[in-house]
Amino acid sequence: MKLIDNLFGMYSGFVMNFTNKRFDSFFKRDIGVNIYDDAYAIHGTSKGKRLLAFLEVAQTPAIIKALHALWEYREAAGGGEVETMGNARARLGAIIEKLGGKPLPADPRPHKSILRRLRRAGLPRERYSSWRPSSWACTQ
């Protein structure tokens, strides 16, 4: 559970950058679940506690769907930030597969590791900010 806590920023009752309203809408729209149902308040009423309860009591297909959707949201909301958790995609994918789900799709941005190395090397961002996987070239 610590992996999921870390992946989705479940600290102090938060889940990533969700507001209560967006968290509710996300679960209703993407998972088909009312996360604010009393069934998910067994540990408390915060978003983090509700997600924890959901992961404990929901049906396995709903949990798999939620983990996939939360990962997609995390990827979209990340805005290309450098991954802080080693092998996050593979580790969450392994959990999903153990639950009987399909693995997470391959990373659509295979160039992230190169960009990370460039940032660490101190290369000015404007030199590589226009990189795209299709071009594999940077601005001069």
pLDDT digits (tens, 9 = 90+) for 69-97: 999 998 887 644 456 777 888 999 999 99
The answer, as to whether pTM is greater than 0.85, is no
The yes-or-no verdict on residue 62 having pLDDT over 90 is yes
- For 13-39, what is the mean pLDDT? 95
> Which pLDDT band holds residue 2 (cuts at 50, 70, 90)?
confident
Does residue 32 sit in the same domain as residue 64? Answer: yes
Q: Looking at the structure, do residues 130 and 103 belong to the same domain, yes or no?
A: no
Quickly count: other Cβ atoms within 10 Å of residue 2's Cβ: 7
CA 8 – CA 45 distance, rounded (Å): 17
The reply to whether 102 and 117 lie within a common domain is: no
Looking at the fold, whether 22 and 70 belong to one and the same domain comes out as yes
The predicted model gives 18-29 an average pLDDT of: 95
Query: How many domains does the structure of the chain reveal?
Result: 2
pLDDT band at 12 (very low <50, low <70, confident <90, very high): confident
121 with 87, same domain: the answer is no
Please check whether residue 31 is in contact with residue 66, taking contact to mean a CB–CB distance below 8 angstroms.
yes
Same-domain pairing of 123 and 95: no
Residue 56 and residue 92 in one domain: yes
Q: What range defines the domain where residue 66 resides?
A: 2-108
Average pLDDT for the chain: 82
**Same domain flag for 121 and 90:** no
Distance CA 1, CA 7 (A): 10
